[in-house]
Amino acid sequence: MTIHGELKHPPEWAAVRAGARHSVVIPFLRLEWTLEWIAYVLDRWSFLKVLERLGSFSVLIAVIFYFSDAGNRIKQRHYQAWQVINTAQGKGGNGGRIEAMQELNADGVPLVGVDVSSAFLQGLRLRNANLLRSNFSAADLRGSELSNADFTLANLHSTNLRGSNLEHARFVQADLGNADLHGSDLAGAILAGTVLDDADLSSGDLRGIDWKNVKSMRGANLDGVRNAPDGFVAWALAHGATQDSPAGN
């Protein structure tokens, strides 16, 4: 795009030289006058004007290609995130998996079948995540934000979920055996077909949980649970749950 108007015809050298007050400035005036002529000639050269417009056009083309390739860049980013998750599979520690899973979930990518067993994932934020058939067994998820997550058929055996937000999470046919849910918010959680054997639910908020189709909860600890639905505690105790205070709580 042109950013200046057409240049004016430079004055004759004699006129420029006559205006010089001191002879010492004449060489500089000569140089400036020469450059003005060069600029004037080039400004009138159509070839350069064509190049200038082509340069502007190339910028437009680059912008168009940038946005048209956005889908491929997103796919590449997702591929790299899955690489991080899969490369660290079966290993302890974080290994960048928190950021990778959060990025995928933020882009609406289902995390179906993800395997992060034994990983250190404290503070993981996967609100509304699709975690169908995932494996979080023995993972450390303390203080995580997992509200509305779908853990249908997931393996959460021995998972540490202390102090986590699990509001309205779906645990349909999930294995929460021996899981540590102490102090977690399970309000509105769906526990249809869920295994809760030896799980620690102490001090948890059980407001509005869907519990009537719990598969089993032998040895589950209900000490100090809050807002339990009517009939739940009595039913659980009759099916092997306890109300013992765990050591260290």
Give the span between the Cα atoms of 104 and 88, in whole angstroms. 16
* The CATH number of domain 90-244 is 2.160.20.80: yes
Give the span between the Cα atoms of 89 and 110, in whole angstroms. 17
Ramachandran region, residue 208 (left: φ > 0; alpha: ψ -120 to 50; beta: rest) = left
The ranges assigned to domains in the chain are 13-68, 90-244
139 burial level (CB within 10 Å; 0-12, 13-18, 19+)? buried
Can you give the pLDDT of all 249 residues of the chain as single tens digits?
Answer: 444 556 676 777 676 667 666 776 667 667 776 777 666 665 655 555 555 665 666 666 666 655 665 567 788 899 999 999 999 887 778 889 999 999 999 999 999 999 999 999 999 999 999 999 999 999 999 999 999 999 999 999 999 999 999 999 999 999 999 999 999 999 999 999 999 999 999 999 999 999 999 999 999 999 999 999 999 999 999 999 999 765 544
pTM of this structure:
0.71
Residues in the chain: 249
| Contact indicator for 203, 182 with CB cutoff of 8 Å | yes
